Amino acid sequence: MGGEAFDEAGFDAWLAGDARRKPLFDTMWRRVMGADMDVALRAYRQRRRARHVALASAAGLLLACTGGYAAWPSVELFLAQPRHYASAEGGIREVVLEDGTRLTLAGGADIRVRYTGHDRVVELTQGTVFADVAHDARRPFRIDAGKARITDLGTRFEVSSNPVAVRVTVESGAVRLGANSWFGDRMDLSADQVAILTGSELSRIANVGAGGVARWRHEWVEYRDVPLSQVVYDLEGVSPLRIRIADEKLANRRVSGRVRLTDPVRQIDNLAVIHDFTITRHDGAIFLSSGKP
């Protein structure tokens, strides 16, 4: 504890704050202190007013090993029972959480939500979600997706996760994107900015235009003389596979028509027939190229 006096009042307040804390602390304490802990616990129960010396030494060791009651938010989050939400393939589902945060799930998306008195965490196990986050300065909001961690700084944003990469697009406000670990770079993104985390590598890609974030929320979108690359970008947000365009000429090919963004694989097949390009699938991705195979 670095020579600091043990904060007995703070410790008591922490224990009293949640009925689960005392049993959990006792269990952790036993694991750290072994048989000596049993003696300390008996003294704790029998002589409450005289326990501060035992608590100071034992809790000091526990604090050094585990972070003690200061680490409770992490323990509390670990113990929280997650709530599971999913969206059927080809569909869209909106979930309103207890704090007013709205999550829009694209088809095939799967999330687990854990809220505590200190944290708000959404685990995106697959697919794409758009988050409209209710502000709460006391409880940060974050989305964990594969190896990525996205921390909300008060915003509306989209997270798209596939086995290879995580893409984050901000509609308003700001988020922080980085690896889901203690180490690695972090990147702050603001409105219209987009970044991708591939493995441990963070990279920015071109900004999106106004109204260009998570267009799949409308299911059907009418395109008028836009480049194929824009349609592919929108489809890729909900595609189980990455979509890559082989050459710039094809990427700039003009597209018009109504596209169902919640059915990306079939829509790519339809576009290939209409706009005369070839589709190949390998290495977990869909590749589009000019001409016939």
* Residue 189 pLDDT: 95
Do 280 and 251 touch, CB atoms closer than 8 A? no
Query: What is the DSSP code string of 204-254?
Result: EEPPP-TT-S-GGGGSEEEEEEEEHHHHHHHHHTT-SSEEEES-HHHHT-E
**0.75 cut: is pTM over it?**
no
Q: How confident is the model at residue 46 (pLDDT cuts 50, 70, 90)?
A: low
**Mean pLDDT across the chain, nearest whole number?**
82
Would the pLDDT of 128 be above 60? yes
Sequence ranges of the domains in the chain:
8-77, 80-205, 219-290
* Residue 123 pLDDT: 95
- Of 72, 74, 78, nearest to 59 (Cα)? 72
Q: How confident is the model at residue 72 (pLDDT cuts 50, 70, 90)?
A: low
What is the rounded average pLDDT of the residues 91-112?
95
Q: How confident is the model at residue 1 (pLDDT cuts 50, 70, 90)?
A: very low
The least confident of 144-148, 216-220, 269-273, 288-292 is 288-292
* Residue 271 pLDDT: 95
> Residue for token digits 């979600």?
129
Would the pLDDT of 228 be above 60? yes
Can you tell me whether residue 71 is helix, strand or coil?
helix
Would the pLDDT of 290 be above 50? yes
* Residue 38 pLDDT: 53
CATH value of 219-290 in 3.40.50.300, 3.40.718.10, 3.55.50.30, 3.40.630.30: 3.55.50.30
* Residue 2 pLDDT: 41
The least confident of 75-84, 173-182, 244-253, 261-270 is 75-84
* Residue 5 pLDDT: 47
Token pair in block for residue 207:
């900004």
> Residue for token digits 């986050």?
133
CATH value of 80-205 in 3.40.50.720, 3.10.250.10, 2.60.120.1440, 3.30.70.270: 2.60.120.1440
Would the pLDDT of 104 be above 60? yes
